[in-house]
Amino acid sequence: MPELPEVETVARGLRQAILGRRIISVTLGKTDFIDDPVALELHLPGRRIEAVERYGKFMLLRLSAVSGETRVATNGDAAPASLLVHLGMTGQIAPSPAGQPLEKHTHVCMLLDDGRELRYTDARRFGRIAYLTKALLAEELTGFGADPLEVSKEEFADRICGRRARIKALLLDQSVLRGVGNIYADESLWKAKIHPARLGANLSRKQAHTLRRVLQDILRKAIVLRGSSISDFLDAEGEPGEYQRHHRAYGREGKGCYRCKTPVRRAIVAGRSSYFCPRCQPSPRGFAALPLAGKNGRKTKRKNAKDADKSRRRNGKSRRAPGAAEKR
């Protein structure tokens, strides 16, 4: 699940691998997660990849203006532009030799001028890709919060302490901070000994300062270790990260807290599974954790209405022929 450290890792890998390459052509598979697929096919060819940046959980491939004969075909829209890439949950982007068989769920292939292909694969298609002109990009990037690695302690405290939302929700809110997701939210709250369900307004400024400090430490450490590979995160070289070995709370339900040995608990906060130590991170009044999962984990519950829906979709799935890139 790519959060800031994972996206930073991928951006660095891409920078190493494809900076300066020119895009020759674009082939698309499924396109329902692409803003304007035709724009990709129309405007990407002929452009050079001049920079790879990270903005929160987004990657930005900065593209040169188009020149020469290609320019005629693009109907005048030749100014520098950007390709915005969000990896969602399962997105991967990496160059590979053009001849290589396509991985399953490959939805974008960009042929480069050195013969390789920059490929985007995404099983769940929670990601997003958009070709953006300068103006559209500026519009796209408004409304995001501070970069957690850059934010000052005062600004961080201001953004947290004045709010009545739960701290977990605030950490996950991209308009408060850009780039933090479920894993690093839980890890930093554990380190700071703050319960995820506490309200921002009920934290002292000192606690906010602590939270910012540990969040930055954790993010920096995670970047050094090339991110966390929980299920299927791979960097631009196709390598998993290492930071999952350092998780202290996330995914550790029932296991002993690294500080006090108390079993880590799980609760739903801000709609997400949240892991915390019930002793080090005392709950706000009236807050109940989920009952500890049994030996075999699963509980039998009825959630319903969702999977009925899902089966319906699955069974009547003649609606969409698999894209060309879907073949294996």
> Smallest gap, in angstroms, from Cβ of residue 101 to DNA?
16
Catalytic position from the list 12, 22, 153, 272 = 272
Check binding of 93 to DNA (CB under 7 A): no
Euclidean distance between CA atoms 93 and 127, whole angstroms: 11
Choose which of 99, 150, 286, 304 interacts with DNA (CB under 7 A).
Answer: 304
Do residues 226 and 242 make contact, with C-beta atoms less than 8 angstroms apart? Answer: yes
SS3 244: helix
- The verdict on whether 57 is a catalytic residue reads yes
Euclidean distance between CA atoms 38 and 248, whole angstroms: 45
Q: Which residues pair with 51 in a beta bridge?
A: 62
> Smallest gap, in angstroms, from Cβ of residue 98 to DNA?
24
> Smallest gap, in angstroms, from Cβ of residue 304 to DNA?
5
Other beta carbons within 10 Å of 145: 19
Phi and psi of 168, rounded to 5°? Answer: -60, -45
Shorter beta-carbon distance to DNA: residue 78 or 269: 269
Q: Interface residues for DNA in 18-37 (CB under 7 A)?
A: 32
For residue 222, give every residue at least 6 positions away whose Cβ sits within 8 Å of its Cβ, in sequence order, or none.
5, 184, 228, 241, 243, 246
- The verdict on whether 97 is a catalytic residue reads no
User: Could you give the C-alpha distances from 217 to 175, 186, 214, in angstroms and in order?
Assistant: 21, 14, 5
Choose which of 311, 316, 318, 321 interacts with DNA (CB under 7 A).
Answer: 311
Tokens describing residue 249? 């709370």
Choose which of 172, 192, 223, 234 interacts with DNA (CB under 7 A).
Answer: 172
Shorter beta-carbon distance to DNA: residue 206 or 317: 317
CA angle (226, 125, 276) in 5-degree steps: 50
Stretches 178-186, 202-210, 235-243, 277-285: which one binds DNA (CB under 7 A)? Answer: 178-186
> Smallest gap, in angstroms, from Cβ of residue 22 to DNA?
29
Q: Interface residues for DNA in 184-203 (CB under 7 A)?
A: 199-200
Other beta carbons within 10 Å of 154: 12
> Smallest gap, in angstroms, from Cβ of residue 78 to DNA?
28
Check binding of 76 to DNA (CB under 7 A): no
Check binding of 141 to DNA (CB under 7 A): no
Q: Which positions touch DNA (CB under 7 A)?
A: 1, 3, 32, 56-57, 86, 88-89, 104-105, 123-126, 163-166, 169, 172, 174, 181-183, 199-200, 231, 250, 270-273, 296-311, 313
